[in-house]
Chains A and B, each alone.
Chain A
Amino acid sequence: MKHLVRSQGIGAVIGVAVMLAVFTLLDFSGWWTVQTVSNVTQFASILAFVTMGEALVIMTKEIDLSVGSVYGLAGVSFITLEPPLGVSGSLLVALLIAALAGLVQGVAVVKGQLPSMIVTLGGLFTARGIIYVWTGGSVHNFSPDARAHPLTRLLGGELFGIEAATFWLIAIAALLGLLLWATPFGNRLLATGGGRESAESRGVRTERVKIVTFVLCSLLAGFAGILTLCNQPQTHVTLGENMELEAISAAVIGGCLLTGGRGSILGAILGALIVVSFRYELIALGAPSSWYITFVGVVLVAAVIFNQSLARRLGHSV
Chain B
Amino acid sequence: MTNDHPLIQVKNLDLYFGAFHALRNVSVDFHAGELVGLVGDNGAGKTTLIRVLCGIHAPTSGEVFFDGRKVEKFHPKLAIDQGIETIQQSVGLCDNLSIARNFYLGREPVKRILGIPFLDFALMREKSARVIRQFGLRDNVSTDDEVERLSGGERQSVKIGRAVEFKNRVVIMDEPTNHLSVREREHVNELAVQLKEQGLLVIYITHDIFQVHKLADRIVIMENGAKVADASTDAMTAEELEEVIRQGGRVVEKRETA
Contact = CB atoms under 8 A, between A and B. Distances in A.
B92 interface: yes
A261 B96 contact: yes
Contacts of A200: 76
15 contacts: A183-B117, A184-B110, A186-B119, A191-B96, A191-B97, A198-B92, A198-B93, A201-B76, A203-B80, A261-B97, A262-B96, A316-B95, A316-B96, A316-B148, A317-B148
Interface of A: 2, 6, 178, 182-184, 186-188, 190-191, 193-195, 197-205, 260-262, 315-317
A199 B105 contact: yes
A108 to B, nearest CB: 22
A199 B104 CA distance: 11
A186 to B, nearest CB: 8
B106 A188 contact: yes
Interface centre among A202, A316, A317 (most CB of B within 10 A): A202
B91 to A, nearest CB: 5
Contact of A201 (B88, B95, B146): B88
B146 A182 contact: no
B119 A187 contact: yes
Interface centre among A193, A199, A203 (most CB of B within 10 A): A203
Interface string B6-25: 00000000000000000000
Contacts of B54: 201
B110 to A, nearest CB: 6
Contacts of A190: 94, 96-97, 101
A194 B106 CA distance: 14
A203 B106 contact: yes
A3 to B, nearest CB: 9
A290 to B, nearest CB: 39
B118 A183 contact: yes
B132 to A, nearest CB: 16
Contact of A187 (B97, B144, B146, B148): B97
Contacts of A203: 76-77, 80-81, 106-107
A194 to B, nearest CB: 3
The A contact surface, by secondary structure, is helix
Interface residues of B, number: 31
A6 B92 contact: no
B118 A202 contact: no
Contact of A202 (B106, B116, B146, B149): B106
Interface in B151-184: none
B119 A198 contact: no
B233 interface: no
B106 A261 contact: no
Interface in B61-114: 76-77, 80-81, 86, 88, 91-97, 101-102, 104-108, 110
A202 B162 CA distance: 11
Given A187-B108, A190-B101, 7 more contacts: A184-B117, A195-B95, A197-B91, A198-B92, A198-B93, A203-B80, A315-B148
Nearest to A184: B108
B96 A188 contact: no
A190 B108 CA distance: 14
B91 A6 contact: no
Contacts of B118: 178, 182-183
Contacts of A193: 96
B86 to A, nearest CB: 7
A261 B101 CA distance: 13
A110 to B, nearest CB: 16
The 5 closest A-B pairs by CB, nearest first: A194-B96, A202-B106, A261-B96, A195-B94, A184-B108
Nearest to A202: B106
Contact of B101 (A2, A187, A201, A205): A187
B105 A191 contact: yes
A82 B93 CA distance: 50
Nearest to B78: A203
Contacts of B81: 203
A161 to B, nearest CB: 32
Nearest to A259: B96
A210 to B, nearest CB: 15
Contacts of A191: 94, 96-97, 101-102, 105
A2 B92 CA distance: 25
Contacts of B121: 182
B193 to A, nearest CB: 24
Given A183-B118, A184-B110, A190-B97, A201 B92 contact: yes
Nearest to B108: A184
Nearest to A181: B119
A317 B95 contact: yes
Contacts of A262: 96
B91 A201 contact: yes
A195 B96 contact: yes
B105 A204 contact: yes
